[in-house]
Amino acid sequence: MAETSRRTRMLFAAIAVVVVGVLIAGGLVWRDDILRTGLDPKEPFQTYDPPPAPNYAEREAWSLLPESPQTWADDDPVADVFFIGPTLYDGGRHWNAPIDDARSEAFFRRTIGPNYVGPFVRVGRLFAPQYRQASLYSMLTLRDDAREARRFAYGDVRRAFRHYISLYNHGRPFLIVGVEQGGTLAARLLAEEVASDPDIRSRLVAAYLIQTAVPAAAPPIPLCTTPTEPGCLAAWMSAYEGDRERAQELRDRSLVWTQDGALINLSGLAACYNPILGQVSDAVAPARLARGATNATGLEWGARPALQSRQVGAHCENSVLRVSRPRSAAFRPIGSWADRQKMPGYNLFYGDLEANAEARLNTLMADPNFPRAARQIPEGAEVGAAPVHRID
């Protein structure tokens, strides 16, 4: 009897071990699907009530805004940078993020600003609007609801850009920088607001669309074919050498705009700008040419990070920038599962982007026909009468 009871206990224990093993294995296999499902708002976008719209006349609607955006000092940079950030909001409750989401803003301040705005600090005053960004979940599915959420986000970005152009730019040269989802929105902005207006178009230093698919055959503005030409588009999406799964996913799941404003799957080749070479090219850029990578996460804002040279080489292959694995442990993804789906907390091309933006700005400013912006008189400033000298 005792022997039978012992065997029964052993049998149940073995079954329990098998069941637990199956559950663990299933969790590992379907982990991404489980976590992704947890971010699903579970409500059709058509019936979704989005958060309140930002008011770009208020400072709270901007992640970065100069102290006096309507004027500038002699020691300010000669250009402006209009920066459209990437997906920072995980999702779960909203298709589109509230602009006062504290966790998203903290991620921007700690990670995105130092790593992806940082390369452009020396060339321009910084304008980074808050916008009701489509959630991370919208980037992980191709459902129509997700596409609608991304189209909705564009409305905020367009309003912010128009506010910037009409009230803050005053004829100054400017750059547009967009990262990931922000890059996709920037591509639409270039087509609708920049390419269609010759005056605005003439002041564009360059547009850098990082981790962004843009059709190579039909870019919104001409692609950058030399390292110094102004007014062009630098767009790329990257994967590490040997990571075939990510490269294929970029080609299969990237969305681009149609002329009527719909988001469709990329078909054909995407533009592939090589940041090390400073141009669209199929040539191989060895690591010895790279100007420096950095992990600036957590760095005090305004401090220039130390750059690590010879970390990566890169070349374009079938629409994707193939990047060699960096040698330093500082360039490894960290954080939660959701955080690792977002832009990494380092920039492998920080030094390349910094130098290239300066080169394009210098070319534009060296053009004797480029008009210099006149400094604006702050609203409410007293203007004294100019002395009148009589000429007899």
275's CB contacts (< 8 A; 6+ apart) are: 234, 236, 314, 349, 352, 353, 356
Buried b (16+ CB within 10 A) or exposed e, 213-234: bbbbeebbbebbeeebbbbbbb
Predicted local distance difference test score (pLDDT) of residue 379 = 55
* Mean pLDDT of the 253-276 span: 94
When comparing pLDDT for 221 and 27, which is higher? 221
H and E: helices and strands count for the chain: 10, 13
Q: Place 340 in a pLDDT band, splitting at 50, 70 and 90.
A: confident
Per-residue pLDDT at 14 exceeds 60: no
Buried b (16+ CB within 10 A) or exposed e, 243-265: beeebeebbeebbbbeeeeebee
When comparing pLDDT for 17 and 112, which is higher? 112
Per-residue pLDDT at 287 exceeds 60: yes
Quote helix, strand, coil % in the chain, to nearest 5.
40, 15, 45
Q: What is the dihedral of CA 41, 45, 49, 53, to 10 degrees?
A: 100
> 371 φ, ψ to 5°?
-75, 135
The pair of structure tokens assigned to 2 is: 């005792």
> Helix or strand or coil: residue 339?
helix
d(CA 348, CA 312): 7
d(CA 143, CA 265): 12
Q: Place 187 in a pLDDT band, splitting at 50, 70 and 90.
A: very high
Nearest to 90 by CA among 49, 35, 144: 35
d(CA 324, CA 327): 9
When comparing pLDDT for 41 and 152, which is higher? 152
Per-residue pLDDT at 31 exceeds 70: no
What DSSP letter does each residue of 66-115 carry, written as one string?
A: -SSTT---TTS-SEEEEEE-------SS-SB--TT-HHHHHHIIIIIIII
Residue 221 is given by DSSP the state S
d(CA 136, CA 86): 10
> Helix or strand or coil: residue 209?
strand
Per-residue pLDDT at 183 exceeds 90: yes
For the segment 352-382, what is each residue's pLDDT rounded down to a tens digit?
999 999 999 999 999 998 987 766 655 554 4
When comparing pLDDT for 13 and 158, which is higher? 158
> What is the reported pTM?
0.87
Half-sphere exposure of 335 (CA within 13 A, CB side): 17
d(CA 138, CA 96): 9
Residue owning tokens 């719209």: 53
328 in Cβ contact with 308 (< 8 Å)? yes
Predicted local distance difference test score (pLDDT) of residue 302 = 84
Per-residue pLDDT at 77 exceeds 70: yes
d(CA 253, CA 255): 6
Pairing of strands 62-64, 124-129: antiparallel
What is the overall mean pLDDT for the chain? 88
218 in Cβ contact with 190 (< 8 Å)? no
Predicted local distance difference test score (pLDDT) of residue 373 = 74
Per-residue pLDDT at 177 exceeds 80: yes
Half-sphere exposure of 144 (CA within 13 A, CB side): 3
> Helix or strand or coil: residue 139?
helix
Per-residue pLDDT at 37 exceeds 70: no
